[in-house]
Structure 1
Amino acid sequence: MAPTGTEQDSVCGRLFCRTGLKVFYESAGLPQCNVEVDGEYITPNAQLQMICPDIWTT
C-alpha cells in the first residue's frame, strides 16, 4: 500500500526519495506480472507510481 497524508508528503517532498524512486523504477527490471495489493491486481511498476504520483508527470 502506498503512503498517504503526512507520510506521503514527507517522502515525496524529499528530492533524494523522489530521485531514488525514479531511478529504481527505470532500472530495476521489475517483472510485469500482477501482484495483489489491497484486493486489486496491479503490476509492481503501477504500485511504485502510486507512492508519489506527481513525479511521473515531471
Structure 2
Amino acid sequence: MRAEILCFRIHKASKTPPQFAFLGRFFMYSVCALGDKGANHAIYLLKVQLVQMMQQLGRV
C-alpha cells in the first residue's frame, strides 16, 4: 500500500514543474567545511548568482 502511494506521488511530481528548490545540502556542506564563515560565504554566493541571473534577464 505505501509503495503504491509513493509511486503515485513520484508520478504526480514528475508531471508538474518545480516551484522552489531546496538549498539545505548546499548550506550544510559550507557550514561543515567552514562554520559560520561557510554559511556567510554560501549566502554571498547565492546573492551573486541571483544578481547575475537578473542581469542576464535584463531586470537589473
**Does TM, scored on the shorter chain, surpass 0.5?**
no
Higher strand share: 1
Tell me the TM-score normalized by structure 2. Answer: 0.28
Higher helix share: 2
Tell me the TM-score normalized by structure 1. Answer: 0.29
State the structure with more CA Rg. Answer: 2
Higher relative contact order (CA 8 A, sep 6+): 1
